[in-house]
Structure 1
Amino acid sequence: MTAAAWQSKPSWGLITTSDRAVNPDAERYGYERAGMTTIEVDASHRVVLARPRRVAELIQDAGRSTNV
């Protein structure tokens, strides 16, 4: 590997605003620094269980925007 994929490929991040395991501000900072497309969801750290439809939509949006 010569570089992290996020440096040359589009990437997406999901910020869970009610997360108590990972600080949402830290996520925002990291995602912004990496130039990622982000969405925010009012959910806890277990967002896949709390908001599965929104997680699936993010994955679908990412796939469509990269023609996967």
Structure 2
Amino acid sequence: MPDKPPYMPTGIGMGILVDDEAKVGVLIFHTAQGTFDFAINLQAVDVLTKALNKIEMHLHSDKAH
């Protein structure tokens, strides 16, 4: 478990940053504590997708009990 409670998003946005050499996605999490921006590439998208699918599976399994 984390040492402190996790931030709870109050909103989520997205954007794309492009320059001459690269393109990355940006996830923007709005929380009561502030806004947190994360640049992500395709590898990070894959990792996040797998993590979110696992979280979703665990949250759904708790509802069955």
Task: Output the TM-score relative to the length of structure 1.
Answer: 0.31
Structure showing greater relative contact order (alpha-carbon pairs closer than 8 Å, 6 or more residues apart)? 1
Larger radius of gyration: 2
Bigger strand fraction: 2
Bigger helix fraction: 1
Task: Output the TM-score relative to the length of structure 2.
Answer: 0.32
